[in-house]
A and B are shown apart, each in its own frame.
Chain A
Amino acid sequence: MAGTVALRPCGDFRTSYGSDQTVFPTRMSLAFCVLGVAALSLAPFVFGKYVLSLLIQIGYLGIAALGLNILVGFTGQISIGHAAFFGFGAFASAFISNKLNVPVFFAIPLAGLATTAVGLLFGVPAARLKGLYLAIATLAAQFILQDFFARAGWFTGGVAGTAAKSFSVFGVEISGDQHYFYVVLAYLVILYLAAANLMRTRDGRALVAVRDHYLSAEMMGINLTKYRTMSFGVSAFYAGIGGALYAHYLGFVSVEGFDILFSIQFLAMIIIGGLGSVMGTLMGTVFMVLLPEVMGGLAKMLSGSAIDRLLSLNEGIVFLREMTIGAVIVLFLIFEPDGLAHRWRQIRAYWKLYPFSH
Chain B
Amino acid sequence: MRTNTTAAALLLSAGAMLSVAPVATLGQGIPVGHLTDFSGPTADVGGPYGQGVADAIAYINRQGGVGGKKLEAETVDYSYQVPRAIAAYKNWSGRVVAIQGWGTADTEALVGFITKDKIPYYSASYAATLTDPVGGSKSDKATPYNFFYGPTYSDAARGLVQWAAEDWKKKGGQGKGKYVHMGANHPYPNSPKAAAEEYAKELGFEVLAPIQFALTPGDYTAQCLTLKQSGAHYAYLGNTAGSNISVLKACQTVGVQVQFLGNVWGMDENAMKAAGSAANNVVYPVRTSAIWTDKVPGMALMREISKMSDPGGTAYRASHYIAGVCSTLFMKEAMEWAVANGGVTGDNIRKGMYVKQNWTPKGTEGVCKPSTWTAQDHRSNLQFDLYRVEVKGATDGSIGDLIAKGAIQMKRVATIELPRKKEWHGW
Contacts and interface: CB of A to CB of B under 8 A. Distances in A.
A and B touch in the complex (CB under 8 A): yes
Interface of A: 48-54, 57, 61, 147, 150-151, 158-161, 163, 175, 177, 250-252, 254-257, 261, 289-290, 292-294, 296-298, 300-301, 315, 318-319, 321-322, 335, 343, 346-347, 350
The secondary-structure label for the interface of chain B is: helix
Given A52-B90, A160-B140, A250-B86, A257 B109 contact: yes
A255 B188 CA distance: 10
A297 B18 contact: yes
B315 interface: no
A301 B39 CA distance: 18
Interface residues of B, number: 49
B22 A163 contact: no
Sort A-B residue pairs by CB-CB distance and give the 4 closest, nearest first. A251-B112, A53-B90, A297-B21, A50-B91
A254 B139 CA distance: 14
A251 B143 CA distance: 13
18 contacts: A50-B22, A50-B91, A54-B87, A57-B87, A159-B129, A160-B427, A163-B112, A250-B113, A252-B141, A254-B105, A256-B108, A256-B188, A292-B83, A293-B18, A294-B14, A296-B84, A300-B23, A321-B39
Q: Which of B14, B90, B140 has most chain A Cβ within 10 Å?
A: B90
A92 to B, nearest CB: 18
A251 B109 CA distance: 8
Interface stretch (B74-82, B168-176, B372-380): B74-82
Interface string B125-136: 001010000000
Contacts of A335: 6
Contacts of B190: 150, 158-159
Contacts of B116: 175, 251
Contacts of A301: 20
Contact of A298 (B17, B81, B108, B186): B17
Contacts of A177: 90
Contact of A159 (B6, B20, B77, B187): B187
A250 B109 contact: yes
B86 A254 contact: no
How would you classify the secondary structure of chain A's contact residues: helix, strand, loop or mixed?
helix
A150 B187 contact: yes
A147 B185 contact: yes
Nearest to A163: B141
B21 A294 contact: yes
Given A159-B127, A251-B111, A254-B187, 8 more contacts: A159-B187, A250-B109, A252-B109, A256-B104, A294-B17, A294-B18, A297-B20, A350-B4
A315 B94 CA distance: 29
Nearest to A290: B14
B236 interface: no
A147 B191 CA distance: 15
A49 B3 CA distance: 34
Contacts of B213: none
Given A53-B90, A254-B109, A293-B21, A350 B3 contact: yes
Contacts of B427: 160
A50 B79 CA distance: 19
B345 interface: no
Nearest to A151: B185
B93 interface: yes
Given A57-B87, A151-B185, A255-B187, A346 B3 contact: yes
A296 to B, nearest CB: 7
Interface in B235-273: none
Nearest to B108: A254
Given A49-B94, A53-B86, A160 B129 contact: yes
Interface string B2-13: 011011000001
A50 B92 CA distance: 8
Contacts of A51: 18, 22
A57 B83 contact: yes
Given A297-B21, A322-B39, A350-B4, A50 B87 contact: yes
A159 B191 contact: yes
Given A175-B116, A350-B3, A257 B105 contact: yes
B38 interface: yes
Given A53-B87, A54-B87, A150-B186, A254 B76 contact: no
Contacts of B14: 290, 294
Given A53-B86, A294-B21, A255 B7 contact: no
Given A294-B14, A297-B20, A347-B4, A318 B109 contact: no
B310 to A, nearest CB: 12
Contacts of A319: 39
B94 to A, nearest CB: 6
Interface in B163-219: 185-188, 190-191, 193-194
A52 B38 CA distance: 27
A350 B2 CA distance: 11
Nearest to B7: A347
Contacts of A261: 81
B112 to A, nearest CB: 3
A158 B191 CA distance: 9
Contacts of A52: 90
Contacts of A160: 127, 129, 139-141, 427
B320 to A, nearest CB: 16
Nearest to A325: B79
A274 B94 CA distance: 37
Contacts of A175: 116
Interface in B385-405: none
Contact of B187 (A256, A300, A315): A256
Nearest to B91: A50
Contacts of A298: 17
B209 to A, nearest CB: 14
A257 B82 contact: yes
B111 A318 contact: no
B212 to A, nearest CB: 10
A255 B190 CA distance: 12
A346 B18 CA distance: 26
